[in-house]
Amino acid sequence: MIRVAVVGCGTVARVNHLPGLRAGGDADVVVFAGRTMGSAEQARDAWGSGEVTTDWAAAVARDDVDAVHVCVPNALHAEVAAAALSAGKHVLVEKPMTTTLADADALLAIDGGVLGVAFDARCNPLLIELRRLLPEVGVVRQVDVRLGHPGPQAWAPDATWFRDPSRSGGGVLLDLGSHVLDALAWCVGPITEVASATAPGPIDEEAELAVVCSTGTTARVFVSWQLPEPEFSFALTGECGTLAIERGQLLRDGAPVDVPAAPLPNAAAAFARALATGTPLSADGVDGRAALAAVLAGYAAAESGRRVQVA
């Protein structure tokens, strides 16, 4: 059983990480470190056991902690993850991995536990099956991806930090763009260039990118915090046909495809299972850095109006 410290006890910890850990059955949360005792107690009560504290540094240093889930605002990811890794703990950090490439590289350089990044799309049964079927459509020429919802206030009304640049590091491109750019790279290949981008700031509510993958595939990406309802679509055009996720269904050349259930519900469950079984992570720190590099190239392209290579 993997013994977990959860650092950051807001909405994403309570509605995503804790249910995932419970469903996977490979972990027990032994300590909750919140910004306030109230948030820590709320998360503890949702789990049903564990200690509570506002001292995250003490929590990650505990001898009875094997892994740390970093669920704090984006700008704090690097500090908490670095402390946990340096203490020899395994770390699952919410996306984005960090807000700067320098911080991401510093985490990758720490000789400590394993570092995972919470890209839930890699546990989406529709995307898993789409990826499995990719050889059937041949060389992928074009991808169109859309992801959006009514904004952070719709699912985490207390998380005002999303629109505070000093705490978030960016807007919807950093938030939702991290998910879709990682999913694109996972399915098609590393993103090497942002050909064009719009991401009006200082906190972008919607963003559009045109990107190029190492395979030569071009992709259009749209992310938004302004949609009336949650939306996710992922459409690929290959030399031998099409695959698309639309309205919660996988289509092969327009026809519905039966999709097996995913083995685990989300990245939190997959991370604990990987630790418990010694199997590879669904997404590691290298994947997290790659997604961040693509996001930051998108912001640079939007600001400069020029093509930007992904660092």
User: Is the pLDDT assigned to residue 254 strictly greater than 90?
Assistant: yes
**Cα–Cα distance for residue pair 59/52, rounded to 1 Å:** 9
DSSP string, 39-106: HHHHHHHHHT--EEES-HHHHHH-TT--EEEE-S-GGGHHHHHHHHHHTT-EEEEESSS-SSHHHHHH
Does residue 158 have a pLDDT over 90?
Answer: no
Helix (H) or strand (E) holding 123: none
Averaged pLDDT, 15-19 = 97
Q: Is the peptide bond before 152 cis (omega within 30 degrees of 0)?
A: no
Section 277-306 average pLDDT: 97
Q: What is the pLDDT of residue 250?
A: 98
| CA-based nearest residue to 186, from 258, 128, 250 | 128
The mean of the pLDDT values for the chain is: 97
CA dihedral 204, 206, 211, 213 (to 10 degrees): 90
Amino acid occupying residue 299:
Y
Mean pLDDT along residues 138-157: 94
In angstroms, the CA 93 to CA 80 distance is 9
SS3 category, 66: coil
* Sign of the CA dihedral with 305 first, then 162, 122, and 155 last: negative
Q: Name residue 251's amino acid.
A: L
pLDDT of 141 higher than 90 = yes
3-state SS, one letter per residue, for 223-248? EECCCCCCEEEEEEEECCEEEEEECC
pLDDT band at 41 (very low <50, low <70, confident <90, very high): very high
Residue 156 predicted with pLDDT over 90: no
Above pLDDT 90, what percent of the chain? 97
Q: Please, which pLDDT band fits residue 155 given cuts at 50, 70 and 90?
A: confident
DSSP one-letter code for 204 = -
What pLDDT does 201 receive?
Answer: 83
> Residue 136 carries which side chain, given as an amino acid letter?
E
Task: Output Rg (C-alpha) for the chain, integer angstroms.
Answer: 19
> Which tops the pLDDT comparison, 231 or 157?
231
Active site residues: 95
DSSP 177-190: HHHHHHHHHHHT--
Question: What pLDDT score was predicted for residue 42?
Answer: 96
Neighbouring-strand partners of residue 26: none
Q: Fill in the DSSP letter of residue 63.
A: T
* Average pLDDT of the segment spanning 280-301: 98
Rounded CA-CA distance 116/280 in Å is 10
Work out the pLDDT band at 279, boundaries 50, 70, 90: very high
- Token pair of 42, please? 């709320």
**Helix intervals (H) in 97-144:** 101-109, 125-133
Strands 90-94 and 67-70: parallel
Distances (CA, A) of 54 to 9, 29, 40, 59, 80: 10, 16, 8, 9, 13
> CB of 199 within 8 A of CB of 299?
yes
- Give all domains of the chain, ordered by start, each with its CATH number: 2-119 (3.40.50.720), 121-261+283-309 (3.30.360.10)
Q: Do 65 and 33 form a contact (C-beta atoms < 8 A)?
A: no
- pLDDT on residue 128: 98
Q: Which amino acid is at 240?
A: C
**Over residues 19-36, mean pLDDT:** 97
* Closest C-alpha among 184, 73, 165, 68 to residue 119: 184
pLDDT tens digit string along 175-199?
A: 999 999 999 999 999 999 999 999 9
pLDDT score for 131:
98
Question: Quick one: pLDDT at residue 159?
Answer: 84
